[in-house]
């Protein structure tokens, strides 16, 4: 297993390009199951989670071919990389436990399989480090389209009567708002269903808007993408498509926080300003500014433009509530907590999506942070400095928060088990090295 060793306190400078979005790519890849024609996806990041999805699709008769720049090539940014997905055997309908248990997003093959092949057997994903993560809303939505669903030996077994789903009215709101992958599943199921489907309380996340954009390009009839009300008129068949994945708003946000916590100015290309409204608002309140860098003679591209980050002299304390999009994303909660550890006063962070997603709290305490947790809220009392320490967190974003803390801390921080980070950040240490950080990847056996 690999670890990161970070010698903190180095300012960052320079420019990096934000990669394509992991959480957009996963359901986009699953959508390849909806067509017999090739689907080309551009700028899919090179991550372990994506490789797992490729393996899962392989077990379902959908082959993946990589083109363009080699995965792992020195930072060409990945923008010219293309993945072609093509179904060669549509008789396979079982998503095995061995793969789904490693990746919760495996659940997003359920809707496409049911829509195109009329049946599916997908292992029920278990809980994970950030919470129980039920899938009741996914199943409720698919049942409203006529699916017959049972549970057998830990697998969800679903069938479309007569081989085809029928449009229906679906409400996808749960105790914490809508569900992102649940919306992806029901949307993919509805595009090939007979008749009209209305999804109320649909997730408005940019990743769902991107999925709807791809499906429309494939021939689906969808209105309301990006809003809580989706209207889908089912079609008989979908074609292939060539689609560029949106930039990863969470990776983008993480690098803004990296600049902010090291009091550095950096430039980020392929930056999704519009998708990060709440995070940019909170950063502005803290005193950190992210400003457009328009290319001469062209209007600023709010989806993929270049921005510069200007740090604050003094970080102001603030309140943060994580919420479904367009609210502040739960996937940036750990990162903003690390930053607020160095603010001048008391901040409060309340987690409204995953109330137990605080694995980073105990580790930040080991680095000298002053944090008091009370249920889904944490009071963050600013301290003068963080102090390097060996730390570990078994959640992707918690680990990202710890890397940021390590970049700012006095002394050496060792982040263990970075395979959690590798699930969601493409060679994070390389990107940070490009910006001048003192960070190395080492094998734990060599420590």
Residues acting as catalytic residues: 128
Choice between 150 and 443, CB closer to ligand EPU = 150
Spatial separation of the C-alpha atoms in residues 120 and 140, rounded to whole Å? 16
Choice between 174 and 436, CB closer to ligand EPU = 174
Choice between 67 and 127, CB closer to ligand EPU = 127
**Sheet hosting strand 266-271, strand order edge to edge:** 15-17, 266-271, 305-310, 289-292
- For residue 371 the two structure tokens come to 């944090």
| Distances from the Cα of 274 to the Cα of 85, 249, 433, angstroms | 29, 9, 27
CB atoms within 10 A of CB 4: 22
CB of 7 to ligand EPU, least distance (A): 27
**Sheet hosting strand 390-392, strand order edge to edge:** 390-392, 412-416, 2-7, 438-443
- For residue 140 the two structure tokens come to 């409720």
CB of 322 to ligand EPU, least distance (A): 8
Spatial separation of the C-alpha atoms in residues 425 and 442, rounded to whole Å? 17
Choice between 156 and 241, CB closer to ligand EPU = 156
Choice between 50 and 409, CB closer to ligand EPU = 50
Cα angle 196, 197, 201 (rounded to 5 degrees) comes to 150
Spatial separation of the C-alpha atoms in residues 185 and 90, rounded to whole Å? 18
Which residue from 391, 396, 275, 286 is spatially nearest to 334, judged by alpha carbons? 396
Spatial separation of the C-alpha atoms in residues 259 and 285, rounded to whole Å? 16
Residues in a beta bridge with 159? 119, 148
Spatial separation of the C-alpha atoms in residues 343 and 349, rounded to whole Å? 13
CB of 425 to ligand EPU, least distance (A): 10
Choice between 23 and 413, CB closer to ligand EPU = 23
Choice between 49 and 429, CB closer to ligand EPU = 49
CB of 324 to ligand EPU, least distance (A): 7
Interacting residues of 152 by C-beta distance below 8 A, sequence separation 6+: 121
CB of 148 to ligand EPU, least distance (A): 18
Residues within the interface to ligand EPU (CB under 6 A): 23, 26, 104-105, 131, 133-138, 174-176, 179-182, 207, 330-331, 353-354, 396-397, 424
CB of 438 to ligand EPU, least distance (A): 26
CB of 30 to ligand EPU, least distance (A): 10
29 touches 6 (CB < 8 A)? no
Transcribe 63-110 into DSSP letters: EEEEESSPTT-SSSTTTT-EEEEEES-TT--EE-HHHHTT-GGGGGGH
């Amino acid at each position: 297993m690999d670890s990161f060793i970070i010698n903190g306190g180095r300012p960052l400078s320079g420019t990096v390009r934000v990669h394509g979005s992991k959480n957009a790519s996963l359901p986009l890849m699953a959508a390849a199951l909806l067509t017999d024609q090739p689907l080309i996806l551009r700028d899919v990041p090179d991550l372990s989670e994506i490789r797992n999805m490729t393996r899962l699709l392989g077990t379902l008769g959908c082959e993946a071919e990589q083109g363009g720049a080699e995965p792992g090539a020195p930072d060409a940014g990945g923008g010219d990389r293309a993945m072609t997905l093509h179904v060669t055997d549509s008789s396979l309908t079982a998503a095995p436990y061995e793969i789904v248990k490693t990746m919760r997003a495996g659940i997003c093959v359920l809707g496409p399989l049911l829509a195109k092949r009329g049946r599916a057997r997908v292992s029920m994903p278990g809980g994970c480090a950030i919470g129980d993560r039920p899938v009741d809303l996914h199943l409720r939505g698919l049942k409203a389209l006529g699916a017959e669903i049972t549970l057998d030996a830990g697998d969800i077994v679903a069938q479309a009567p007569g081989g085809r789903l029928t449009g229906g009215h679906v409400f996808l709101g749960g105790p914490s708002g809508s569900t992102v992958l649940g919306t992806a599943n029901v949307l993919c199921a509805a595009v090939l269903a007979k008749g009209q489907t209305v999804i109320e309380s649909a997730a408005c996340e940019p990743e769902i808007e991107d999925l709807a954009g791809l499906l429309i390009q494939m021939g689906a009839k969808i209105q309301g993408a990006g809003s809580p009300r989706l209207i889908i008129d089912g079609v008989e068949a979908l074609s292939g498509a060539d689609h560029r994945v949106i930039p990863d708003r969470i990776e983008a946000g993480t690098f803004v926080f990296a600049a902010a916590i090291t009091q550095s100015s950096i430039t980020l290309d392929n930056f999704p300003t519009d998708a990060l409204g709440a995070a940019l608002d909170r950063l502005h309140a803290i005193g950190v500014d992210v400003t457009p860098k328009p290319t001469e003679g062209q209007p600023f591209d709010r989806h993929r433009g270049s921005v510069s980050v200007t740090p604050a002299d003094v970080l102001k304390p603030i309140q943060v509530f994580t919420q479904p999009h367009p609210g502040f994303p739960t996937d940036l909660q750990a990162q903003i907590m690390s930053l607020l550890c160095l603010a001048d006063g008391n901040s409060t962070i309340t987690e409204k999506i995953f109330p137990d997603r605080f694995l980073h709290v105990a580790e930040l305490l080991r680095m000298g942070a002053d944090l008091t947790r009370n249920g889904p809220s944490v009071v963050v009392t600013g301290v003068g400095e963080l102090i390097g320490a060996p730390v570990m967190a078994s959640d992707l974003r918690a680990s990202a928060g710890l890397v940021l803390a390590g970049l700012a801390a006095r002394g050496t921080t060792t982040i263990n088990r970075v395979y959690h980070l590798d699930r969601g950040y493409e060679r994070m240490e390389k990107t940070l090295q490009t910006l001048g950080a003192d960070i190395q990847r080492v094998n734990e056996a060599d420590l």
